Amino acid sequence: MQDILVRYGMQMDRKGFINCPFHQEKSNSMKIYNSSYYCFGCGKGGDIFTFVQEMDGLTFKEAFRELGGEYKSDFSTYMKIDKAKHNRQKLEKKREQLKQEIDLNNSLISVYRNWRDKATPMSQTWIDCTNRLQYQLYKHEILEGRWSEIGFK
């Protein structure tokens, strides 16, 4: 981190603080550590890459290259990226389908409850609605379990 400061013409005081370049101030409020920084005035912090990104307005990849890193992409890297993208899309589609199924289930629960409440107790309509409501409530528990399995609570 000290090498990065020299690059920008900055010098730490004996306690390891500098005047924060990200906001106007009169006193040193940014603490410099071995490989990171934190400003107690504005709250900005990070590592050497973040510092270069903020100072020069760069992306992470540009800051990485600016600091001497090599970024090589080969076929296996592209395959991993493509596979991760495909898996995210697949999961998102699964979530959307499950959400639609849950929405339908909730609607059916409301419908069967309303019809059951309007029907005469022990009539054929009341019995049918009660049975269908019980099935939808059972299905609701299963859908909630599937929902939490794919990352939702």
Q: CA nearest 8: which of 42, 55, 45?
A: 55
Q: What is the pLDDT of residue 126?
A: 95
pLDDT tens per residue across span 38-60: 999 899 999 999 999 998 988 88
Q: What is the pLDDT of residue 124?
A: 95
- Domain covering 2-66 in this structure, CATH number: 3.90.580.10
83 with 132: CB under 8 angstroms? no
What DSSP designation does 32 have? E
Q: Can you give the residue ranges of every domain in the chain?
A: 2-66, 93-149
- Within 13 Å and on the Cβ side, how many CA atoms surround 53? 12
Least confident segment among 21-30, 55-64, 68-77, 113-122: 68-77
Q: What is the pLDDT of residue 153?
A: 46
Q: What pTM was computed for the model?
A: 0.46
- Bigger pLDDT: 150 or 65? 65
What DSSP designation does 23 have? S
Q: What is the mean pLDDT of the chain?
A: 88
